[in-house]
Amino acid sequence: MPFAPHQFTHVAGHGCVNELNFLLSAVETSLAPPSAKPASPGATGPVDPLRLIELARLNKLINVLPDKAEALPEGCGGLVAQIGQARLLSAMMNQRGLEAAAGITRLLTAQGIDHVHLKGPLQQVELYGSYHQKPSADTDLLVRPADRLEAGRVIQDEGYRAKDSQIALWWRLYLHERHFDHPERGTMIDLHHGLHQPGVPRPRNTESFLDTARDMTFQGTTFRIPDARHRVLLASISIVKAIIGREPALSAVVDLRAAHDKLTPEDRRSMMPLARALRLERVWMFAMRFVEAVFPAVPMPDFDDTPALPGLEADTLRAMIATPWVEDLPWLRRHLILSDLCGKDRLRYMHESAQSVLSGLFRKSLEMRASLKGKAE
């Protein structure tokens, strides 16, 4: 969900340059193989402890910060307890999510409902070898459109309730997504039958993510997860969504980098043909500009196309994805982003633009109706 301005209270008005440099150094340390790990991340100047922990929290990267005072910047040793607590809470939350995911996957499999687990703790195991690299509150499942009603029934039979928010109909009709929560377990499930996000062109064939899924066994349960190439595309969609919503999402850039690192040579050769087949090649290229800006030493694919986001420097892109509260960033208007993502396909751009306008109008009408109803009561 979009961030509210009050969530940036402790970092508003600050570029957090030194804090960001230390956080990225901690990310590099966490990603390095054991034989190459430095003793501790490096600091490049004075670091404010409150801004460091807030920057990491907002970007879902608290768990990569060192949990020893001597490895933290000067004056930040007091963060150790907070970092330890965040790690413990992430482990507990993600374990609950894994147990919920295992229960639902067994039920859906028993009913013959094809499904795939998107993102979440299972992706973290694949990318980082740990199911609690960052907090993950929801279990995201993708099913075929024809199975969405039966899948919803199975989830509700397990004790979950469909969340009846004022814009639930908008979520279902325009984002192809339903939300369920369990009143006793405190777990949530997001059931997708599409992968559309506001302002992001939809994939040509969402079922490709199901058709190419593979098995993953974890904690005694076999799950279906996206293959390595589709995982790259999912991470790319997350980055575009964050930029459109002006949300801090450095962890999504880290995910995309890690997902790229997991590609085999054959995966790399077939990555662009797949992206083009799904009409997501510009989405992938757009997202990779942020990987390049944040991690300039990481080799980039050789894109044989017009570069995404021309004219924007690496420092600007890095601020957009990590510290979007910084004033005077040259944000592109949504229609320009959509135009870039659609490339030369003008008909597609017009169709996606119309859908975006209708989506916004429908959501506002639902919110207005709920507001009027509340006042009447």
Mean pLDDT of the region 137-150: 95
- Asked whether residue 219 falls in the same domain as residue 349, the answer is yes
- Asked whether residue 40 falls in the same domain as residue 126, the answer is no
Instruction: Dump the DSSP string for 51-95.
Output: HHHHHHHHTT-GGGS-SSGGGSPTT-GGGHHHHHHHHHHHHHHHH
Residue 89 lies in a domain: no
Q: Kindly report the number of other CB atoms within 10 A of residue 155's CB atom.
A: 23
- Asked whether residue 213 falls in the same domain as residue 357, the answer is yes
Residue 88 lies in a domain: no
CA distance 366 to 144: 27
- Asked whether residue 170 falls in the same domain as residue 284, the answer is yes
Residue 80 lies in a domain: no
CA distance 21 to 27: 10
Instruction: Quote the pLDDT of residue 245.
Output: 93
Instruction: Kindly indicate the confidence band of residue 307, based on its pLDDT and cuts at 50, 70 and 90.
Output: confident
- Asked whether residue 56 falls in the same domain as residue 111, the answer is no
Instruction: Quote the pLDDT of residue 2.
Output: 61
Instruction: Quote the pLDDT of residue 232.
Output: 98
Of the listed ranges 7-21, 39-53, 363-377, the least confidently predicted one is 363-377
CA angle 18, 240, 199 (to 5 degrees): 140
139 forms beta bridges with: 189
Residue 90 lies in a domain: no
> Which residue, 22, 41, 75, sits at the end of a domain?
75
Instruction: Kindly indicate the confidence band of residue 163, based on its pLDDT and cuts at 50, 70 and 90.
Output: confident
Is the pLDDT confidence value at 1 over 70? Answer: no
Q: Which residue has the tokens 């899924």?
A: 213
CA distance 251 to 62: 10
Is the pLDDT confidence value at 35 over 70? Answer: no
Instruction: Kindly indicate the confidence band of residue 372, based on its pLDDT and cuts at 50, 70 and 90.
Output: confident
Which comes out higher in pLDDT, residue 298 or 1?
A: 298
State the average pLDDT for the chain: 92
Residue 331 lies in a domain: yes
* Percent over 90 (pLDDT), the chain: 79
Instruction: Quote the pLDDT of residue 36.
Output: 66
Instruction: Quote the pLDDT of residue 6.
Output: 81
Total domains in the fold of the chain:
2
pLDDT in tens, 109-122: 999 999 999 999 99
* Percent over 70 (pLDDT), the chain: 96
> Which residue, 16, 47, 75, sits at the end of a domain?
75
- Asked whether residue 144 falls in the same domain as residue 21, the answer is no
Of the listed ranges 229-238, 256-265, 336-345, the least confidently predicted one is 336-345
Is the pLDDT confidence value at 139 over 90? Answer: yes
Q: Kindly report the number of other CB atoms within 10 A of residue 186's CB atom.
A: 11
Domain that holds residue 29: 7-75
- Asked whether residue 168 falls in the same domain as residue 268, the answer is yes
Residue 1 lies in a domain: no
Mean pLDDT of the region 205-226: 96
pLDDT in tens, 40-85: 676 678 999 999 999 999 999 999 999 999 999 999 999 999 999 9
Instruction: Dump the DSSP string for 115-152.
Output: EEEESHHHHHHHHHS-TTSS---EEEEEE-GGGHHHHH
Instruction: Quote the pLDDT of residue 311.
Output: 87
- Asked whether residue 21 falls in the same domain as residue 161, the answer is no
Q: Which helix (H) or strand (E) holds 229?
A: helix 228-245
Is the pLDDT confidence value at 197 over 90? Answer: no
pLDDT in tens, 78-88: 999 999 999 99
Is the pLDDT confidence value at 38 over 70? Answer: no
- Asked whether residue 61 falls in the same domain as residue 128, the answer is no
Full-model pTM: 0.93
Instruction: Kindly indicate the confidence band of residue 212, based on its pLDDT and cuts at 50, 70 and 90.
Output: very high
Residue 149 lies in a domain: yes
- Asked whether residue 65 falls in the same domain as residue 121, the answer is no
Mean pLDDT of the region 291-317: 91
pLDDT in tens, 244-301: 999 999 999 999 999 999 999 999 999 999 999 999 999 999 999 999 999 999 999 9
28, 65 contact by CB (below 8 A)? no
Residue 299 lies in a domain: yes
Is the pLDDT confidence value at 330 over 90? Answer: yes
The CATH number of the domain holding residue 217 is 3.30.460.40
- Asked whether residue 120 falls in the same domain as residue 62, the answer is no
- Asked whether residue 43 falls in the same domain as residue 131, the answer is no
pLDDT in tens, 90-112: 999 999 999 999 999 999 999 99
